[in-house]
């Protein structure tokens, strides 16, 4: 059945046809059969024929997008849709592959991200899109697999975690897949995009017990503490022999009550080895703490 529609004008006929077909004007081809015209008595309606264009697949829409994108970034390349079964594969061909791939694949990865966004517009389930140029993806995959095995062996040898450089999700999956069957290591991704990276963790990961046997930290050769204050031993112990770094801890001065007749003072005094100081000197320590708060017993007797 032909999709022929009429109206007083061509515009009205096209509008009626689009509404009846439930499509947008960009999705149909319009053929004007009769423009219609006014007569002295009555008028002749306009007639148009609308043909719905074949709907582009997700891969075809991505190819069309890239054909318009590449000239805008100053790159001339032929775009070919290779397949779109399990994943959409698009091949780029250019005189200079470096201008499309970029340093460490930065340009082609960006192109692939944009193509994936276009291809998955309106889809409920995401479909993977791969944009390749001169077999770059396969070569890069083999390189990443070799790097993964090499760094896994290093992690096991050292007993330490090994961190790889930041990668895009596609390359991180390659690292995870390359080591998934390795019995000696596990892998996980850390960080946030675009600086997310893979960490290789050996099964023989060395753990360090930082607590010492005597309540301190083990940081020296003899198991002693590095600068850790030990109240039981009276000072700091941080040297190699385990003794005190600052010498023996001196006892606090002995406190005694003030002698009778001490004028205008209360509190406690410190008994010094050198004897009590006679008189007051500016800038010296008087030997007393506190403030006179009341009268002593002698004052009460004088009243």
Q: Which domains are seen in the chain, by residue range?
A: 4-52 (no CATH), 58-134 (3.30.300.20), 138-202 (3.30.1370.50), 208-247 (no CATH)
Instruction: Write down the pLDDT at residue 168.
Output: 87
C-alpha 220/C-alpha 96 separation (Å) is 59
Which structure tokens are listed for 59?
């891969």
Instruction: Write down the pLDDT at residue 259.
Output: 58
Residues 6+ apart with CB under 8 A from 46: 6, 7, 8, 9, 10, 12, 13, 32, 34, 35, 36
C-alpha 39/C-alpha 48 separation (Å) is 20
Instruction: Write down the pLDDT at residue 262.
Output: 53
Write a three-state SS string for 74-97. CCCCEEEEEEECCCEEEEEECCCC
Strand ranges for the chain from DSSP E:
4-7, 28-34, 37-38, 43-44, 46-52, 78-84, 88-93, 129-133, 162-163, 185-190, 197-202, 228-230, 235-237, 255-256, 269-270
Low-confidence ranges of the chain (pLDDT < 70): 1-2, 39-42, 208-303
Instruction: Write down the pLDDT at residue 111.
Output: 94
Instruction: Write down the pLDDT at residue 3.
Output: 81
Instruction: Write down the pLDDT at residue 166.
Output: 92
Q: How many residues does the chain have?
A: 303
Q: What is the largest CA-CA distance in the chain?
A: 141
Instruction: Write down the pLDDT at residue 199.
Output: 97
**Which run of H or E residues covers position 147?**
helix 136-158
- Evaluate whether 62 touches 23 at the Cβ level (below 8 Å): no
Distances in Å between the Cα of 102 and the Cα atoms of 53, 72, 111, 115, 136 are: 37, 16, 11, 17, 11
C-alpha 291/C-alpha 265 separation (Å) is 6
Which structure tokens are listed for 245?
């770094």
Instruction: Write down the pLDDT at residue 208.
Output: 63
Instruction: Write down the pLDDT at residue 95.
Output: 85
Per the listing, tokens 């290789």 go with 200
Distances in Å between the Cα of 87 and the Cα atoms of 61, 81, 167, 218, 256 are: 14, 11, 21, 56, 90
**Predicted TM-score (pTM) of this structure:** 0.54
């Amino acid at each position: 059945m032909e999709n022929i529609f009429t109206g007083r004008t061509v515009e009205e006929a096209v509008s009626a046809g689009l509404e009846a077909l439930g499509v947008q004007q960009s999705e149909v081809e319009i053929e004007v059969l009769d423009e219609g015209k006014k007569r002295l008595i009555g008028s002749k309606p306009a007639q148009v024929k609308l043909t719905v264009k074949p709907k582009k697949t997700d891969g075809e829409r991505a190819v069309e997008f890239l054909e318009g994108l590449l000239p805008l970034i100053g790159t001339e390349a032929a775009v070919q849709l290779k397949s779109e079964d399990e994943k959409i594969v698009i091949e780029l061909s250019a005189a200079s592959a470096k201008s499309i791939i970029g340093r460490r694949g930065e340009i082609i990865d960006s192109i692939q991200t944009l193509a994936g966004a276009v291809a998955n517009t309106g889809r409920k389930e995401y479909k993977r899109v791969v944009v390749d140029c001169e077999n770059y993806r396969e070569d890069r995959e083999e390189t990443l697999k070799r790097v993964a095995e090499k760094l896994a062996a290093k992690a096991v040898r050292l007993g330490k975690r090994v961190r790889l450089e930041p990668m895009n999700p596609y390359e991180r999956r390659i690292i995870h897949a390359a080591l998934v069957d390795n019995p000696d290591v596990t892998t996980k991704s850390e960080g946030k995009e675009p600086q997310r990276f893979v960490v290789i963790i050996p099964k023989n990961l060395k753990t360090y017990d930082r607590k010492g046997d005597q309540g301190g930290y083990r940081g020296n050769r003899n198991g002693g503490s590095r600068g850790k204050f030990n109240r039981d031993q009276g000072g700091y112990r941080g040297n190699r022999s385990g003794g005190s770094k600052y010498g023996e801890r001196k006892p606090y001065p002995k406190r005694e009550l003030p002698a009778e007749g001490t004028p205008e003072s209360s509190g406690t005094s410190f008994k010094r080895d050198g004897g009590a100081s006679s008189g007051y000197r500016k800038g010296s320590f008087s030997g007393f703490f506190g403030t006179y708060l009341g009268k002593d017993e002698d004052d009460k007797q004088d009243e």
